[in-house]
Structure 1
Amino acid sequence: MARFNTRTVKARPVSAVTSTGRILRTYEGGRGQERDARSELFLLAVSNLVSQQTFYESGGERDDRFAGLVRGLAVTDPSWTAGLLGWLRGEGNMRTASLVGAAEYVHARLAAGATDGPSNRQVVASVLRRPDEPGELLAYWTATYGRAVPKPVKRGIADAVRRLYHAKSLLKYDTASKGYRFGDVLNLVHAAPDPDKPWQGELFRYALDRRHNPDTALPPASSPLLAAHRELMALPVAERRGVVTSPGGAERLAAAGLTWEALAGWLQGPMDKAAWEAVIPSMGAMALVRNLRNFDEAGVCDEVAAQVAARISDPAEVARSRQFPFRYLAAYQHAPSLRWSYPLERALGHSLANVPALPGRTLVLVDRSGSMFYSRLSDRSELTRADAAAIFGTALALRAADADLVEFGTTSKRLSFERGESVLKILGRFGDLGGTDTTSAIRAHYRGQDRVLIVTDEQYTHHRHGDPTRQVPAHVPVYTWNLAGYRAGHGPSGTADRHTFGGLSDAAFRMVPLLEAARDARWPWEA
């Protein structure tokens, strides 16, 4: 009689974040699982905004751990590490961590004399996606390793400069507040103009002149944008507000590449209703989202507000902006007018496009312990990991066929919601539940569901019943979504229906249907 080769046999898939089997202690004193170096680096990278304090680690400690992991893997596993860094800056949308990672990758490989794997030049170029980033990378390198910049770094930056430097980027990013201006970058890396961009030679010369001879620098005649900008700059201050209020003012500002950040300085006065209404048509979607309160305070008219609402909630604009979902929660909390509520709700929904509609019954547990509230997502945000966990947990519950949504800390509580209800409305029902007792929450709320998803920092306290994931039968999948990237995990991962993902975007959730279809879930850049 066949014992294994039956019609009901099902493959056990594996996932990328993998435990070693070695037992560690979480920061709360619970028994934790060590992850291999690649898994530890991945989870830290997708949650590390660089120099950000967390409840259990200082910003410096996290940065040192990140840099150390990159340096080690750059030598022992260069292809994987290069793939991570390129993905991190691209689809992962983690700008600073990828720049720091690229610098540490190159430094480690040069120190080790390593020549296998992707070239240092390619790795540097792969993480530079915005015109101000060549200067950012140079600033990090020289502050960390001194003014001697190696050739691979210079050549990778030069490749990016040819790709990224154009007239509009010069006006937006080449400002006096930067330590490394465009001209400084060009002087250091000696980037030759792109042969396919005949205008770039003149632009490079102008960038150098702006840096070294700002009073006499003349924009190249080949750039209508720079000529229009110079014309606006030459206008007497007394005449400038007249440009804003004129019938063609908005078009003229756009043609001169005048950003909303620069407009107030150019006007040398307040950003009033007319100023905002003139510059709004040329603003990007996320600039609009960040300024909703300013629009209300200035009294922007309903017609213009409707145009703003349509743009910020447009699915294509949301996809193009590549913003994390919690950005829309921040805007919702800070914009006083109800006219923005529905557009922001729609935008948040579009930003969660990767959250799967899971069949069957799902238990969703959202960590609302003290450590989740302590760590802000960035220096410029009041939002915390608790906010991010609530957003993603709520989205999972709303999309699932049948879900129990539970918040947990020292205690736990099931949250009620209606199908089709607003994510932003449900978020108001979450609270602050003190310590972390993941194990008790699972024991209290697991009632035979088909899967369990836990959104957490994994730092559970010691519990007599042990590993939280062992409270669920072995054949039932348990998915942990790690929002912090601490070293020790609260349970095993990688095999046997126990899997860990990470990050501040919704992309990780697309792994759940893959695993449940018995398909292995690889690293995102290898999928």
Structure 2
Amino acid sequence: MAKFNKTAVRPAATGPITTTGRARTHEGGAGAVRDPKGELFLLAVANMAGEDTFYEAAGDRDARFAALVQRVAVADPQWITDFLGWLRTGANMRSASLVGAAEAARALLTAGQPGGRRLISSVLQRADEPGELLGYWTSRYGRALPKPVKRGLADAVQRLYTEFSLLKYDTGSKGFRFADVIELVHPVAATPAQGEVFKHALDRRHNRPFPPAPDLRMISANAALRSAAADDPTALLNTESLRAAGLTWEDALSLTGSRVAKGKLWTALIPTMGYMALLRNLRSFDEAGVSDSVAEVICARLSDPAEVARSRQFPFRFLSAHRAAPSLRWGHALDKALTASLANVPVLPGRTLVLVDRSGSMFYGTSRNARLTNADAAAIFGTAVAMRNLGRADLVQFGSSAKRVDVRAGESLLRIVDRFGDLGGTNTLAAVQRFYNRHDRVLIVTDEQAHAGQGNPGSALPPTVPLYTWNLAGYRPGHGPAGPYRHTFGGLTDAAFRLVPLLESGANGNWPWKTA
């Protein structure tokens, strides 16, 4: 007779983040501290470098991040390399990955360990990022560039510097122009045409006469179109001319000023614009009177799942665009795009309790320029789980008090998010105690900073009921220990949700970059 291996018994799977001791939350509640890799992971996936958070000043937070990166890099160079590469491309955290790569490369160099070159190159994915990394490095460590840093930057320049990227990113507002980067790291051109791009960048940086070489067709077309637009701004109303010249929408708006009707200009520009540019300009399209037929083309792109995946937008960007747009014509497309951006949210067997933190600290912006808060992001993730498991999930918002949020079949995710409110303090344990009713699992989306008197929320559950904590802020203390059936994830995308089915199948959950 089987004694232990019964269908009602779940495997005691463990997640990648572990805890090492007890601590107090920033509000004085009982909590736990994580191991260095776990603390670094949760901080990095929520860390907009140089940004204050509710409980942590920017300088303190950035110093903690740098110290953790340095410590983990020396202890496990392969892990830090894999992690930072995923952080840039999987978690879409641009600034944190660049800062992390610089600090990790320096730590490896100081410890006499290899790997800095590959690490630096791996996180640089956009042509303005070599200059960004140089800006960070020189502000911290001066203009002397160690060989691994220099060679990693040169590898990235060889991959990323093109005619179009030169026209788009090499602007006078940058501290390190393309030419400055080229002169500091001495990249070898991959092709003769790229060699001409390098030469052109140097000529224009140093104010030398720089008629573009014949091979630089886009740069030549750009110069010709700018010259024509100075006399006749209607030259910018030809979409094919704009595309051939690699003229950005920002430059086109600047060149025309008020000399061309904005609706006509946007209509010409829209086919040349990238996904993020479309998303951030919906209000401008409405204000300019862009026609419904053009709007339909935009909506088709915005709602295309393949376009959403390629864009790598944070899910909360779609809520931000929805709130900023004056008209209703974008709503359905944005709702479809938001749903597509949450493709990793799983369908789960049995019943799920979803608790969304709406305490005061959650209403701090994801960055100083963001219109959205951690509370908004929490509502999006929690609602997505409830909708994906409609009829088998109970959605609850909590703070000092707690209450259910209705989710009805066929509703828009964007509409449901508007039902959430501001509920004051962080009484997490009390919310679990009140609403847990023999659910098969509990998911809490939170910053984990429970108030004094609040203990481990997992203590209100049977020990074999999985508790998933989705941490949105990356603070050092958490609200409970990790271990079998107690798992912590984090981030501003849905990437780590793919671990939930693995954990429940009995496989020990690994880091997200090892499950792709």
TM-score (normalizing by structure 2): 0.97
5 Å-filtered alignment, 1:138-287, equals: 138-194=134-190, 197-213=191-207, 216-235=209-228, 237-239=230-232, 241-245=233-237, 249-269=238-258, 272-287=262-277
| Distance in 1, Cα, partners of 2:11 & 2:384 | 29
The one-letter code of the counterpart of 2:155 is D
Per-residue Cα deviation, 1:38-97 (whole angstroms, up to 9, x for no partner): 000000000001111111101111101000000111111111111111111111110000
Q: State the shift of 1:510 in Å.
A: 1.2
Q: Which residue of 1 aligns with 2:133?
A: 137
Letter in 2 for 1:220: A
Letter in 2 for 1:266: L
1:333 alignment partner, one of 323, 330, 345: 323
Q: Does 1:383 align with 2:389?
A: no
Could you say if the C-alpha distance between residues 313 and 59 of structure 1 is closer, same or farther in structure 2, counting changes exceeding 3 Å?
A: same
Counterpart among 490, 499, 511 of residue 511 in structure 1: 499
- Tell me whether 424-433 or 226-235 shows the greater mean CA deviation: 226-235
- Offset at residue 431 of structure 1 (A): 0.3
Q: Give 1:6 shift.
A: 6.2
Question: 1:10 touches 1:518 (CA, 8 Å); kept in 2?
Answer: yes
1: CA distance between counterparts of 2:375 and 2:127?
33
1:151-189 Cα deviation digits (max 9, x unpaired) = 111100000000001111010001111111111100000
1:286 and 1:321 in contact (8 A); partners too: yes
The answer (yes or no) to whether the contact 1:244–1:274 under 8 Å persists in 2 is no
Q: C-alpha distance in 1, partners of 2:130/2:399?
A: 43
Identity fraction in percent: 57
Q: State the shift of 1:210 in Å.
A: 1.3
Residues 1:2 and 1:285: Cα distance change in structure 2 (over 3 Å): closer
SS in 2 for 1:183: helix
Deviations 1:302-327 (A, max 9, x none): 11111111111111110110001000
Q: Say whether the 8 Å CA contact 2:225–2:235 is kept in structure 1.
A: no
Opposite residue 229 of structure 1, the aligned amino acid is N
Q: Is the 8 A contact 2:228 2:235 kept in 1?
A: no
Secondary structure at the counterpart of residue 339 of structure 1: coil
1:459 matches 2:449: yes
2:16 maps to 1:16 = yes
Q: CA deviation at 1:8?
A: 6.5
Question: Does 2:472 align with 1:483?
Answer: yes
TM-score by length of 1: 0.95
Matching residue within 384, 387, 405 for 1:398: 387
CA distance in 2, matches of 1:517, 1:151: 46
Question: Residue 330 of structure 2 aligns to a residue in which SS?
Answer: helix
Greater shift, 287-296 or 411-420, is seen at 411-420
Contact 1:406/1:414 (8 A) holds in 2: yes
Task: Note if 1:69 corresponds to 2:68.
Answer: yes
Deviations 1:351-401 (A, max 9, x none): 11111112211100000000000x211222111000000000000001114
Q: What is residue 353 of structure 2 aligned with on the other side?
A: 363
* Corresponding letter in the other structure for 1:124: I
Offset at residue 3 of structure 1 (A): 4.1
1:149 Cα offset (Å): 1.0
CA distance in 2, matches of 1:2, 1:253: 72
Aligned position for 1:124:
120
AA in 2 matched with 1:282: T
Equivalent position amino acid for 2:495 in 1: A
Q: Distance in 1 between matches of 2:8 and 2:368?
A: 52
Corresponding letter in the other structure for 2:409: R
Secondary structure (helix, strand or coil) at the match of 1:442 reads helix
Name which of structure 1's ranges 310-319 and 264-273 shifts more when overlaid on structure 2.
Answer: 264-273
Equivalent AA in structure 1 for residue 382 of structure 2: G
Instruction: Please report how far the alpha carbon of residue 459 of structure 1 lies from its aligned counterpart in structure 2 after TM superposition.
Output: 0.5
- Deviation, structure 1 residue 4: 4.1
Q: Which runs of 5+ in 1 are unaligned?
A: none
Confirm whether residue 305 of structure 1 aligns to residue 295 of structure 2: yes
Question: Aligned pairs, how many?
Answer: 513
Matching residue of 2:37: 38
> 1:398·1:420 contact (CA, 8 Å) conserved in 2?
no
Q: Conserved in 2, the CA contact under 8 Å of 1:368 and 1:407?
A: yes
- Structure 1 residue 2: deviation in Å? 6.0
| 262-271 vs 10-19, greater mean Cα deviation | 262-271
Change (3 A) 1:172 1:302: same
**Alpha-carbon distance in structure 2 between the residues aligned to 1:283 and 1:181:** 24
Match of 1:101 in 2: 100
Task: Name the residue aligned to 2:308.
Answer: 318
Q: Aligned letter for 1:165?
A: Y
Aligned partner of residue 348 in structure 2, secondary structure? coil
Tell me how far apart the structure 1 counterparts of residues 258 and 199 of structure 2 sit (CA, whole Å). Answer: 33
1:474 aligns with 2:463: yes
- 1:435 CA displacement: 0.6
Q: Secondary structure at the match of 1:331?
A: helix
| 1:388-430 deviation per Cα after TM superposition (whole angstroms, max 9, x unaligned) | 0000000000111411100000000011120231100001110
Mapped pair 1:522 → 2:495: no
Note the aligned Cα RMSD (angstroms): 1.4
Task: Please list the CA deviations of residues 260-317 of structure 1 after superposition, one character each: whole Å capped at 9, or x if unmatched.
Answer: 0111222243671111111111001111010000000000111111111111111111
Q: In structure 2, the residue corresponding to 1:114 is in which secondary structure?
A: coil
- Give, in whole Å, the separation in 2 of the partners of 1:74 and 1:376: 30
Q: What is aligned with 2:413?
A: 423
Query: Could you say if the C-alpha distance between residues 389 and 9 of structure 1 is closer, same or farther in structure 2, counting changes exceeding 3 Å?
Result: closer
CA distance in 2, matches of 1:106, 1:254: 39
Distance 1:8 1:387 in 2: 36
